[in-house]
């Protein structure tokens, strides 16, 4: 259980430096000031087991917000309520680490571009070891690293470089090494599935269901000794697991168009509320905006958008629930009309 709070940067500190702060529950924590955030500005941190505190209460937005709370999508808002040009993006300190919309759709957790559409990469620490099992759009990962944030956006582990993941068809040896997170020469079920979803255009839900079925024979076809892992020969054989997954779980073309928010706000909201919860979580909003504005293939614009959403979120989430319900979305000065003003 986490709560997102705002941390205002004191005088004398700037992006890349560490800062200590006290959570509402009294816990002392440390975070790195994200790129583009300077003294007097505010960035947001998810803290564990904190007393529920709305971000808007932790960081007063001040008088710089336009009348009624509407904020142009082309600018960010600092801790004092002043407008910050988008040329200095306030990079989000952390992307949600829970299984979210990006993982469910096999999309990059940073930019929400489908992973199979472009080269992918993984983050390495200073020893050249992977920091997690997650895959990222290669250019988005490089852009994230270049900001000087210094931490994986999901795990918050220190990162030092981005390793491009080779195509398993042209460099199977290099692919296997990149995918083998723990370096034991074998691939676990998790390592195999996430890697295949990252580079193959497959139906992720169908593949997940087949893997999880305790009575199905999908995994046992390849893990014949029941060890729970797959060796390189089993994976890359001409009729091996990679070939089988590609042919069996090929993803059909998604022909459903994103509703025009200017014509039907309710339809747009329902389209992005994929879990039917009746609310849009923050990552769902970020994903929806990036895809509506067609920004997911431009890493710099992705980081700018994330910074903007981090900064203005309290304006559109006045109850501090970390989600936006339909009433908040459709309000006269809510997020819907702000998006419409941006895309018009």
> Tens digits of per-residue pLDDT, 191-229?
888 888 888 887 777 777 777 776 667 777 777 777 778
DSSP per position, 193-224: HHHHHHHS-B-HHHHHHHHH-TT--TGGGT-T
Digit-coded pLDDT (tens) for 245-287: 777 766 665 556 888 888 899 999 988 888 788 888 888 888 8
| E strands in the chain | 2-8, 18-22, 28-32, 42-48, 75-77, 83-85, 120-124, 136-137, 161-164, 187-188, 229-230, 279-281, 323-325
Does the model's pTM come out above 0.85?
no
CA distance readout (Å), 122 to 52, 138, 154: 34, 8, 12
Least confident segment among 22-36, 166-180, 216-230: 22-36
End-to-end CA distance of the chain: 39
């Amino acid at each position: 259980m986490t709560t997102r709070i705002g941390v205002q940067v004191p005088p004398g500190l700037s992006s890349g430096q560490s800062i200590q702060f006290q959570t509402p529950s009294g816990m002392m924590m440390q975070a790195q000031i994200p790129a583009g955030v300077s003294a007097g500005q505010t960035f947001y941190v998810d803290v564990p087991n904190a007393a529920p505190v709305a971000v808007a209460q932790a960081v007063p937005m001040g008088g710089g917000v336009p009348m009624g709370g509407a904020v142009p999508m082309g600018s960010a808002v600092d801790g004092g309520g002043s407008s910050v040009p988008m040329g200095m993006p306030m990079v989000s300190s952390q992307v949600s680490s829970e299984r979210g919309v990006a993982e469910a759709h096999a999309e990059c957790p940073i930019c929400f571009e489908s992973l199979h559409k472009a080269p992918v990469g993984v983050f390495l620490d200073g020893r050249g070891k992977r920091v997690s099992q997650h895959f990222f759009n290669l250019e988005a990962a490089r852009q994230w690293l270049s900001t000087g944030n210094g931490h994986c956006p999901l795990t918050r582990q220190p990162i030092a470089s981005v390793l491009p993941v080779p195509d398993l068809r042209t460099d199977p040896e290099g692919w296997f090494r990149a995918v083998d997170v723990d370096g034991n020469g074998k691939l676990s079920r998790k390592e195999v599935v996430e890697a295949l979803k990252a580079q193959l255009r497959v139906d992720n839900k169908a593949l997940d269901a087949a893997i999880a079925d305790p009575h199905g024979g999908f995994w046992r076809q390849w893990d014949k000794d029941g060890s729970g892992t797959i060796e390189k020969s089993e994976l890359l054989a001409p009729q091996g697991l990679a070939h089988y997954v590609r042919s069996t779980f090929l993803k059909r073309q998604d022909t459903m168009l994103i509703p025009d928010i200017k014509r039907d706000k309710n339809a747009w909201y329902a389209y992005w509320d994929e879990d039917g919860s009746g609310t849009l979580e923050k990552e769902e909003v970020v994903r929806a905006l990036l895809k509506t504005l067609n920004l997911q293939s431009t890493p710099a614009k992705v980081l700018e958008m994330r910074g903007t959403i981090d900064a203005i979120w309290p304006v559109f989430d006045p109850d501090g629930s970390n989600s936006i319900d339909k009433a908040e979305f459709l309000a006269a000065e809510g997020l819907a009309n702000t998006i419409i003003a941006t895309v018009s």
